[in-house]
Amino acid sequence: MNTKADCGYTLVDFSVTSPAPEWYAFNDGVMGGESRGGPAIVAGQLVFSGQISLENNGGFSSVKSSGHQFDVSAFHSLRLRVKGDGRRYQLRLYTDARFDQSPIAYTAEFPTLAGEWTESVIAISQLSPRFRGRALSGPPLDVERVEAIGLLLGDKRAGEFELRVEWIRAE
Taking only the tens place, the pLDDT of each residue in 158-167 is 999 999 999 9
CA 69, 73, 75, 80 torsion-angle sign? positive
- What is each CA distance from 147 to 21, 49, 52, 68, in whole angstroms? 10, 23, 27, 6
Provide the pLDDT for residue 21: 73
With a cut of 80, say whether residue 4 has pLDDT above it.
no
| CATH 2.70.98.40, domain 4-170, yes or no | no
Render pLDDT for 35-83 as a digit per residue (tens, 0 to 9): 999 999 999 999 999 999 999 988 999 999 987 889 999 999 999 999 9
DSSP letter for each residue of the chain: ---HHHH-EEEEETTS-TTPPEEEEEEGGGGT---EEEEEEETTEEEEEEEE--GGG---EEEEEES--B--TT-SEEEEEEEB-S--EEEEEEEEEEETTEEEEEEEEE---BT-EEEEEEEGGG-EEEETTEE---PPP-TT-B-EEEEEE-S---EEEEEEEEEEEE-
Render pLDDT for 121-169 as a digit per residue (tens, 0 to 9): 999 999 999 988 888 988 889 999 999 999 999 999 999 999 999 999 9
* Confidence class for position 3, pLDDT limits 50, 70, 90: very low
148-153/128-131 β-pairing: unpaired
pTM assigned to the model: 0.91
With a cut of 70, say whether residue 7 has pLDDT above it.
no
Domain boundaries, the chain: 4-170
With a cut of 60, say whether residue 6 has pLDDT above it.
no
What whole-number distance in Å separates Cα of residue 168 and Cα of residue 120?
10
9 closest CA partner among 127, 124, 142: 124
Q: What is the separation, in whole angstroms, between the first and last Cα of the chain?
A: 17
Provide the pLDDT for residue 2: 33
Provide the pLDDT for residue 115: 98
Percent of the chain with pLDDT over 70: 94
